[in-house]
Amino acid sequence: MKKIAILISGRGTNMQAIVDARLPHEICGVISNNPNAAGLHFAKSRNINTCVVNHRDYPDRESFDEALGNAIAALQPDLVVLAGFMRILTVGLTTRFAGKMINIHPSLLPAFRGLDTHERAIGGGVKLHGCTVHFVTPNLDEGPIIAQAALCVRPNDTPQTLAERVLVLEHEILPKTVAWVLDGHCTMEANHVTLDPSIIDDSFSFQR
């Protein structure tokens, strides 16, 4: 059984989706930079090991990432999942877990890297929006893409309604992607992702 470490900063709904998916792998710990993250309570209710590495306790990003990296390494995970972890990671940390760390981002990358993705999507007049799971690399939201899920932007969508609709896709695509990586159906070489064609499921790739 392989082990998953999940990093959160808030509600942790994507972490909950992974837990509820009942994957044949162990969630060895949930780590947050926010001691008040609501997701920590959910993890504890499921008897999952939790840990807080509060970024406010460290003088700079490098020292925080060193402590965070040590907390992750102590869990000995096969995969690190950033599930709403709202910190920009240093080169040192992303290199330390290269090829073993994935992130879910609320846009169809490479469009709308960074924050406020739903507001920017509406402001840009795009017709399709969604979410992306990708490997984490030193450049923000530029890692090799594993999978994406999309929906149509409705004329009456607001950033809030669009965020809620995209979140439904996130909850479906992230557990599947975690399983693909841990079960060996997804590989990365020279910054290029290859998926086993036998496991690709188009059912979550588009919603009207």
Architecture of domain 104-208: 3-Layer(aba) Sandwich (3.40)
| 17 in Cβ contact with 28 (< 8 Å) | no
Q: What is the pLDDT of residues 95-150, one digit of tens each?
A: 999 999 999 999 999 999 999 999 999 999 999 999 999 999 999 999 999 999 99
DSSP 93: H
pLDDT over 80 (residue 203) = no
Please check whether the two domains, 1-97 and 104-208, share a CATH topology.
yes
Q: What is the pLDDT of residues 21-59, one digit of tens each?
A: 999 999 999 999 999 999 999 999 999 999 999 999 999
- Comparing C-alpha atoms, which of 74, 77, 69 is closest to residue 181? 77
pLDDT over 50 (residue 208) = no
What is the pLDDT averaged over residues 153-175? 97
What amino acid positions are annotated as catalytic residues?
Answer: 105
pLDDT-derived band at 191, boundaries 50, 70, 90:
confident
Return the CATH class of domain 1-97: alpha beta
Question: Within 10 A of 184 (CB to CB), how many other CB atoms are there?
Answer: 9
What are the structural domain ranges in the chain? 1-97, 104-208
| 82 in Cβ contact with 100 (< 8 Å) | no
